[in-house]
Amino acid sequence: MIISTPDELRLYAPSHDIDHIDAMAGFIDSSEQDFLKEKLGDELFDALTTYYRQLKSDSAVLKDFVNKVADGEELPPYARLLSVCQRIVTYDALSRGINIQAVSVNGAGVNIPVADDYLKADREAIKDFKQTCYTEAHAALNRLLVLLEQWTIKANASETTETPGDAETPNAQADPNTPTPSADTSEESSPEDEIKEITKYWRSSRFFYLAASCIIPSASILQEYLNIYDSREKYIQMLPDLRYIQEEIMEPIFGEDYIAYLIELATKGTSEKLPLRIIHKLRKTVARHLEARSMAIKVGDPRRETAHNEAIALTQDLTEYIRTHQPDFDEGMTKAFESSPLFAADNPDESGKNAAPYVPEFKNNADDAVMFVTPALN
């Protein structure tokens, strides 16, 4: 577990009066395994628990960590990651445990425990407490995913600025079971190295922020076209619908190779206006399809129907836009577009000089011509 003392619980839920961690141990373990682990991924979760075991092996070091969090001091990356994850686990565990703790199972049967120093909580108070803990847990989770996303972008930027001689190739191939930086500050590695290690482990998680094979590859980009309240968790929930729209609606219309080319171009970046406009229009179209289809966001039926109609109109608009500007495609885009159903091999100019002459299939008075006459109906 990444929480082992009541003092750590009080960092994030100061109103509780739990004197022994044993009362919450089962809920904490369930929160870590069922709620936190899949967000971090197995590798990063194992690295974090290893770091925490080193931290709590010395009570003075653990106490120093608690004091730094309480005082709002700047923490090294692994300690900061631990603090964010502890907040998630604390509120999720409290949300899980409140209903069970509200009753007591003993030799006399099932009873409602009441203390002499406290009044009994009514049903509404328990319900409100549970909902608040649930909200806080998911808010903390989004904070975690945003933090990991920022670190990943920072780590990628630092890698691109390194010269080949400065790049640490052995670390890139490090074994996932390599021990994490020691909690002892005397042996602590640099913050940059910790961030690189954390983000490397996080890449194996299902909640890694970048879905590189999608035209809308991250929550921050989707937020530009559809209000998901900047929630990384909602974006991950919408990924199956996003992939379905891309593969079953967009690719049959525009071509699988062409969509893949646009995704690659968007990932690498480009300054050319035409591809940027097409990518923007495609993302806007996909976002409207997503709004009409996905149940991960709360949308009323009237708005969902409107989004569906907008998606159809935007798809038609994008189709006409691509057809109109096909002559302006560069060589790479033209090659990717050749397998598209919209591709026109011969593009006649305005005067029609390149158009093939019209040849009618039927000729009058041909030897094999046959006329069928149907009787008139009264």
Position with higher pLDDT, 362 vs 355: 362
pLDDT above 70: residue 82 = yes
The radius of gyration of the chain from alpha carbons, rounded to an integer in Å, stands at 30
Average pLDDT over residues 56-74: 94
Which segments of the chain does DSSP mark as H helices, in order?
Answer: 6-12, 22-31, 37-40, 42-56, 59-71, 77-101, 123-161, 169-172, 191-202, 219-223, 232-244, 251-254, 256-268, 273-293, 301-325, 331-337
Average per-residue pLDDT for the chain: 86
pLDDT above 70: residue 364 = no
CA dihedral angle for residue 176, residue 178, residue 184, residue 189, rounded to 10 degrees: -80
pLDDT of residue 265: 94
Long-range contacts of 58-63 (CB under 8 A, 24+ apart): 58/183, 58/184, 61/183, 61/184, 62/4, 62/5, 63/7
pLDDT digits (tens, 9 = 90+) for 333-350: 999 999 999 998 765 454
pLDDT digits (tens, 9 = 90+) for 35-52: 999 999 999 999 999 999
Q: Which of 184, 150, 155 is nearest to 172 (CA)?
A: 155
**Rounded CA separation 17/32 (Å):** 22
- pLDDT band at 306; cut points 50, 70, 90: very high
- pLDDT band at 185; cut points 50, 70, 90: very low
Domain locations along the chain: 6-166+173-202, 219-337
State the first-to-last Cα distance of the chain, in angstroms, to the nearest integer: 89
pLDDT digits (tens, 9 = 90+) for 142-163: 999 999 999 999 999 887 665 4
What's the length of the chain?
378
pLDDT digits (tens, 9 = 90+) for 89-135: 999 999 998 887 777 677 766 767 666 666 777 889 889 999 999 99
Average pLDDT over residues 179-198: 72
